[in-house]
Amino acid sequence: MTRPTARVLALLEILQGGGTRTVADLAGRLGVDERTVRRYAAHLIDLDVPVRTVRGRYGGYRLAPGFRMPPLMLTDEEALAVLLGLVAGQRAGLVTASGVATESAAAKVRRVLPEALGRKLDALLDTLDFTSPARPAASPETAVLLTLAEAARDRRPVAVSYTAWDGRRSERTVHPYGIVAHSGRWYVTGEDSASGEVRTFRLDRIAAATPAAGSFAVPDGFDPGAHVLSRLAEVPHRHEVSVRVRATAEQVRPRLPAGIAAVTAIAGEPGWVRVRLRAERLDWVPSVLASLDRPFVIETPDALRDQVRTFARGLTAGADADPGEIVEEPERR
């Protein structure tokens, strides 16, 4: 959508809020001059939108009384899906725009719903809570996300301005194989002109994305999501955990945190897999190993053995305690 068209629709949205809006007020809200506001109003009139001119000191524009946009015909389930999608997307860090934009979009949907359905959804949104909010993360620019998504679909290169984790800035061309949303962040994965390798970039670190000339082909069988998760699992952390587990990869992988765990078969040891984890702290790892409910052998680090023993003592103390007894939490290191 071109910017003039978007602003014409924005003008309509403002006028639908009711009342008379001065030309100066509209110009300020739309970021244009007053002459342009008059041109936008004339465009709405050409589209048979009943915009009325109010003359005088406090004059401006308003919509004719009784004008309503056509109702949005959604079933209860469809309306619920749309509004929950907006709310959940914001909470999960998947919304690229500001929270104001999300609230505005939800308000637009809410305004054109039938009154009875609207009241029900209002009640749900007023009482809804999320027990697992996403980690705070910078959202990518909408223009960057949409440019890369379109380029990935059309197999077109994109020139990007990228800032690495250490603050270094670079200009490079990326062949975007796919866009991935994971744990509150957006990523693009594809061939990088600077290295000639398949790389993964965080979208919130891309300041600008411009389509470039040319085309490319995606390697057969390439899975953007799996590639991003495997690369995230290789990022170094304070602790590198390696554990052998008597199980299959299919039994183990769904119980491990995606993006920081890798599961591989062990040559010469049928029925066993090796699990590698990255962790800044070890105190949460024992509970993950316990949740596997499979025999395991700790390879590294030795400090994890003490963590598992402490975790086991806590479970034993809880199991042996009398009702009403206060059980002290074992000290964790």
CATH of the domain at 209: 2.30.30
Give the highest mean pLDDT range of 78-82, 118-122, 154-158, 224-228: 154-158
Residue 326: per-residue pLDDT: 62
* Interval 1-25: pLDDT, tens: 445 777 887 888 888 877 888 999 9
Q: Is 121 inside any structural domain?
A: yes
Query: Is residue 323 predicted with pLDDT exceeding 70?
Result: yes
Q: Which of 28-37, 64-73, 235-244, 317-326 has the lowest mean pLDDT?
A: 64-73
Say if residue 116 is in the same domain as residue 163: no
Domain boundary residue among 63, 88, 106?
63
Say if residue 240 is in the same domain as residue 222: no
Q: Is 244 inside any structural domain?
A: yes
CATH number at residue 11: 1.10.10.10
Give the highest mean pLDDT range of 188-192, 223-227, 317-321: 188-192
Query: Is residue 63 predicted with pLDDT exceeding 60?
Result: yes
- 88: Cβ contacts below 8 Å, ≥ 6 apart: 130
Say if residue 187 is in the same domain as residue 246: no
* Interval 183-192: pLDDT, tens: 667 889 999 9
Q: Is 35 inside any structural domain?
A: yes
184 vs 137, which has greater pLDDT? 184
Q: Is 68 inside any structural domain?
A: no
Looking at the 3D structure of the chain, how many domains does it have? 4
318 vs 61, which has greater pLDDT? 61
* Interval 152-191: pLDDT, tens: 999 999 999 999 877 889 999 999 999 887 766 788 999 9
Q: What is the mean pLDDT of residues 240-262?
A: 85
Residue 114's domain comprises 79-127
Domain boundary residue among 201, 226, 251?
226
102 vs 216, which has greater pLDDT? 216
Distance CA 319, CA 313 (A): 10
Say if residue 196 is in the same domain as residue 264: no
